[in-house]
Amino acid sequence: MFSKLVGNEDVKDMLRRLIANSRVPNSLILAGDEGVGKRQFAIEIARSFLCNEANGGEACGKCAICLRIDTFEFPAREDKNKDDYKKVFFGGHIDVGTVVHYKRTILVDAIRDLERHANFRPYEAKARFFIIDDADKMNDEASNALLKTLEEPPPTSHIFLITSRPDSLLPTIRSRCQMLRFAPVETDKVEKYLVEERKFENAEAGLAARLSRGSIGRAVSINVVEFRTARDRVLNVIKSAIQTRDLATMFRIAEELNDAKNKDKFESNLDILESLIHDVWSLKVSGDTSRVVNTDVTDDLKRLAADAARANLPSWLAEIETMRQNLAVNINRKIAADALFVSMAG
């Protein structure tokens, strides 16, 4: 049922209308940030067609068919066998298939397999559905293979392209598909979902919801306890820069951020640093607490904002962005972090 999905009410309304009028496009791009529920919506469209108990364009969500649709079985490890990824994956329903990428690419053979299956009549239902996950990972060869199918779509087959980067799709593909755009989910809806469906504690749900930036997927994957530990360490960097001018502490934290336990999380620590600097900056400029993300440390942030007269917060953020770009070319992270912290304490 669409009503079980969180957010994007306008997309739901449009889909209900399309389904009620039997006008669901044969080729559809579902575009929007990671984790906003695009794939769940695609599955739900398929359910609305296949469920025997469907009512007013809404699947029941409970019958055997509804439960079978989203049960794809993928090979256990991605690096095992490339050949496994040269085909459409089916799960519990023979008329619902999906294509996923191998390493960073959707293989052309998988798209050719999709083309073959799309030309079959439905076995069990009145339509067939094919979901291409991360469709922007199709290379030119795969894209061109798909184009052939999109040019003359079999009337009983629907092909859904899921992507967070619609602009990376070939223009010829975009022009042959209708596009549904998904917005980030509102923070209060993410929070409600975490409490009601995922049994989060209230305080943790609030923090995870604000950190999720509108992505349900990101919200449920946040470990709030781990986040707080990391966040308190990074907060110490800002305290040292603004309040104590304690470079020794900052160098020690730079060391920790690069030790064996933390080095894989270096970039997420940069995310945390940025979000804290944003919080201090917005408090310094307006005193408005409504835009603070790290609300559980608002008092610390307010004190920092009050003491930050000399701190050039926008230039800190610019330096972090430059550093992020340099990470791609394998700079020494410890040296880069040291340099950033020296300039913050300056």
Which residues of this protein are in contact with Zn ion, per CB under 5 A? 51, 53, 59-60, 63, 66
Nearer CB in complex with Zn ion: 66/270: 66
Q: Using CA atoms, how far apart are residues 288 and 285, in angstroms rounded to an integer? A: 8
d(CA 180, CA 293): 29
- Judged by beta carbon, residue 96 or residue 194, the one nearer Zn ion is 96
Q: Give the H or E element holding residue 209.
A: helix 202-211
Least Å from the CB of residue 295 to Zn ion: 40
Residue nearest to Zn ion (CB): 51
Q: What are phi and psi of 345, to 5 degrees?
A: -80, -15
Q: Of the two residues 94 and 183, which places its CB atom closer to Zn ion in the complex? A: 94
Min separation Cβ 92 and Zn ion, Å: 13
Contacts of residue 181, Cβ cutoff 8 Å, sequence gap at least 6: 11, 31, 32
Q: What is the DSSP-derived secondary structure letter of residue 244?
A: I
The minimum distance between CB 93 and Zn ion, in angstroms, equals 11
Q: Closest distance between Zn ion and the C-beta of residue 51, in Å? A: 3
| Identity of the residue, 47 or 112, whose beta carbon is nearer to Zn ion in the bound complex | 47
Instruction: Give the 3-state secondary structure of residue 53.
Output: coil
Instruction: Considering the complex, state which of residue 123 and residue 288 has its C-beta at the smaller distance from Zn ion.
Output: 123
Q: Please report how close the Cβ of residue 64 comes to Zn ion at its closest, in angstroms.
A: 8
> What residue type is assigned to position 86 of the chain?
K
Q: Give 66 or 125: the residue with its C-beta nearer to Zn ion.
A: 66
Estimate to the nearest angstrom the gap between the alpha carbon of 269 and the chain centroid: 18
CA distance 251 to 264: 19
> Phi/psi zone of residue 232: left (φ > 0), alpha (ψ -120 to 50 degrees), beta?
alpha
Torsion of CA 237, 243, 247, 249, to 10 degrees: -50
CB of 71 to Zn ion, least distance (A): 14
Note whether 70 and 43 are within 8 A (CB): yes
